[in-house]
Structure 1
Amino acid sequence: MSLTLQSVGRRYGDTWILQNLDLEVGSGECLALLGPSGCGKSTALRLIAGLDTPDEGSIRINGEVMNGVPPDRRRVAMVFQSYALFPHLCIRENLNLGLRIRGVSPDDQRRRVASIIEVMQLGSLAERRPSELSGGQRQRVALARALLRDPLVYLLDEPMSNLDAQLREELRPELKRLVLQGPQPVVYVTHDQQEAMALADRIAVLRNGRIEQIGTPRELYERPATLFVAQFIGRPQMNLLHRETGLIVGIRPEHLRLDREGLPCRLIGREWLGAGQQLLLECSAGTLRMLCDGTVEPGDDLRVSWNSSDEHRFLDGSGTRMA
């Protein structure tokens, strides 16, 4: 199974929302589309699903061109941010409706719905309506409905953005087990880089409708191609030092260390992160973030250094990485 987007573009009036989008998602691969609001990631998902039409380029599923093919004939399952459950139907009826519309026999409907209810551990909730469920339970129902479609491609549009942080972490293993380990290509849209790095095989970082960089989570973190990617990937955010030579040097907070011979700094703030703390340091080069598990106090005079091999160098004008 495969999904291919070739030179796909979409515009509204004179404004291009997406331009020259090239993507290849293989069998069993999860590709995350990551970027700030308005970068075009949800538009890309709608184009793949057939809910919108590209102005240029082609979309192929298993080699077959999908341009002009209606959504119900694309065998694409989409999980929405808003769950999109029918409020007047119980969970069992929500799951059964799509099968009935597609003409699945009554016996097959009962068998498949009973099976997915067991897999998703929804047995005690099957006769309840969506308003009687928590956000996490409703998300499991939305995933169950997508699984019942037996699709060629899964599309997930920020499926966990309505959940609190703890519940998102609890659902990640379940999502990976049920959807992300199957044979279908998966496109996962999110603005949460931690979520993308935890779930995706590869990540495409979008900015203003174009791909800034595409690669594995490790590749994007260790060798960001542009200043934008360097700042977008990684928390806490990368430190940036502006040099008079026209270079910007980036250093990850975890690569700074206390050093008696290093750059003089003053501690101006800190944030506890559980096992350690993030220090906010003021120095001649500006403000630095540093991860530390030692004991320091506000007002302390400190010195920090780093290895030159941990530096990321970018051109000040274009923001592109220097080799």
Structure 2
Amino acid sequence: MMLKLAQIGRRFGETWILKDLNLQVGEGECVALLGPSGCGKSTALRLIAGLDQPDQGEVFIAGESQSRIPAHRRRIGMVFQSYALFPHLSVRRNLTLGLQIRGATALDQQQRVNQILEVVRLSDQAERRPAQLSGGQRQRVALARALLRDPLVYLLDEPMSNLDAQLRDDLRPDLRRLILGGPQPVVYVTHDQQEAMALADRIAVLRDGRIEQIGTPQQLYNTPQTSFVAQFIGRPTMNLLKPDSTEVVGIRPEHLQFDSAGLPCRLLNREWHGASQHLLLDSSRGQLRMVCAGDTPIGESSAISWDPKLEHRFDASSGQRLNRD
């Protein structure tokens, strides 16, 4: 079972929102579409689901073109940012409604919903309405509804963006347990690179409707192919320095070190993050971000250096990687 996008394009007027998008998602694989707002990631999801039609290219699911298959027949499980639950219906009714529309018997509806409520640990909330649930519980109802469709592909559109940081951390194990790692391909749309790196097998970074780079989280972090990817992947972001007009040099904040013989710096800001602290330093080469141990004493003035072997080099004009890895 595989999802394939072949030369997919979508435009509005003369502007291409997506252009020549090629992507394959294998059986049991999760690919995250990551990028800033307006890069085309949600448009790609709508094209896969059949909620919008491409101006070029085709979508294939399990080897079958979806061009002539309407959205309601595509056997796709979608989980939305807004949960898309009926507020006036109970949790149970929200789940049985889709089964009823698809012609399931009353007994089958009851059995399958009871099973899925146990799976998502919401059996004791079955008669409550969405407004009586927490954000994490509402998202688990949305996951349960997607599971009930017995889909060939899962599409998740910013499913945790409405949750606070703690709830997102709590829900990730549920996502892994319920959807990730099963036989279905999963496409996960997010603007949160930490979420993408935590959940996805591969990440496709989109920029202006095209894939800038695709690879494992480790590949994108360790060998970004463009300066755009270098700054988009990693928190704090990579430091980019311009020694001359031809190239840009990148160095990760965790690769900076204090060195009395190094580049003089002045402390502008300091934030504690548990076992580490994030520093913003001012130097003759511009502002630099640094990560160091939480117990490191920091003065108002210091000096830093880094191993040149850890530098990432990019063409100043095209942004393409210059390192030979």
TM-score, normalised with respect to structure 2: 0.97
1:79 is matched by which residue type in structure 2? V
1:210 is matched by which residue type in structure 2? R
Q: Is the 8 A contact 1:268 1:298 kept in 2?
A: no
Q: Does the alignment pair 1:21 with 2:29? A: no
Q: String of CA shifts for 1:183-213, please: whole Å, max 9, x gaps.
A: 0000000000000000000000001101000
Separation of aligned partners in 2, 1:172 and 1:105: 33
User: Displacement of 1:68 after TM fit?
Assistant: 2.7
- In the alignment, which residue of structure 2 is the partner of 1:230? 230
Separation of aligned partners in 2, 1:297 and 1:177: 43
- In the alignment, which residue of structure 2 is the partner of 1:191? 191
User: Displacement of 1:295 after TM fit?
Assistant: 3.4
Map 1:1-323 → 2, pairs under 5 A:
1-244=1-244, 246-293=246-293, 294-299=295-300, 301-323=301-323
2:296 is matched by which residue type in structure 1? T
User: Displacement of 1:56 after TM fit?
Assistant: 0.2
1:59 is matched by which residue type in structure 2? V
Separation of aligned partners in 2, 1:170 and 1:43: 28
User: Displacement of 1:302 after TM fit?
Assistant: 1.1
Q: String of CA shifts for 1:50-85, please: whole Å, max 9, x gaps.
A: 000000001000000001310111111111111011
Separation of aligned partners in 2, 1:131 and 1:79: 18
User: Displacement of 1:296 after TM fit?
Assistant: 3.4
Separation of aligned partners in 2, 1:268 and 1:160: 33
Determine helix, strand or coil for the equivalent of 2:197: helix
Separation of aligned partners in 1, 2:170 and 2:16: 37
User: Displacement of 1:226 after TM fit?
Assistant: 0.5
Separation of aligned partners in 2, 1:140 and 1:245: 51
Gaps of 5+ in 2: none
1:295 is matched by which residue type in structure 2? T
Gaps of 5+ in 1: none
User: Displacement of 1:245 after TM fit?
Assistant: 5.1
User: Displacement of 1:308 after TM fit?
Assistant: 1.2
Separation of aligned partners in 1, 2:305 and 2:287: 14
1:40 is matched by which residue type in structure 2? G
User: Displacement of 1:297 after TM fit?
Assistant: 4.0
Separation of aligned partners in 2, 1:246 and 1:260: 30
Aligned residues: 322
TM-score, normalised with respect to structure 1: 0.98
Q: String of CA shifts for 1:144-163, please: whole Å, max 9, x gaps.
A: 00001000000000000000
Determine helix, strand or coil for the equivalent of 1:287: strand
User: Displacement of 1:298 after TM fit?
Assistant: 5.0
Separation of aligned partners in 2, 1:226 and 1:246: 14
User: Displacement of 1:247 after TM fit?
Assistant: 1.1
2:141 is matched by which residue type in structure 1? V
1:89 is matched by which residue type in structure 2? L
Q: Is the 8 A contact 1:269 1:298 kept in 2?
A: no
User: Displacement of 1:268 after TM fit?
Assistant: 1.9
Determine helix, strand or coil for the equivalent of 1:213: strand
Determine helix, strand or coil for the equivalent of 2:89: coil
1:265 is matched by which residue type in structure 2? C
User: Displacement of 1:292 after TM fit?
Assistant: 1.2
Q: String of CA shifts for 1:208-263, please: whole Å, max 9, x gaps.
A: 10100000000000000101000000000101111125211000000001112211
Q: Is the 8 A contact 1:37 1:191 kept in 2?
A: yes
Q: String of CA shifts for 1:249-286, please: whole Å, max 9, x gaps.
A: 00000000111221111222211111111111111101
User: Displacement of 1:303 after TM fit?
Assistant: 1.3
1:80 is matched by which residue type in structure 2? F
Separation of aligned partners in 2, 1:227 and 1:7: 25
Determine helix, strand or coil for the equivalent of 1:236: coil
1:37 is matched by which residue type in structure 2? S
Runs (4+) off by over 3 Å: 294-298
Separation of aligned partners in 2, 1:87 and 1:14: 39
Separation of aligned partners in 2, 1:240 and 1:31: 28
Separation of aligned partners in 2, 1:200 and 1:284: 39
User: Displacement of 1:166 after TM fit?
Assistant: 0.6
Determine helix, strand or coil for the equivalent of 2:317: coil
Determine helix, strand or coil for the equivalent of 1:46: helix
Query: RMSD between aligned alpha carbons?
Result: 0.9
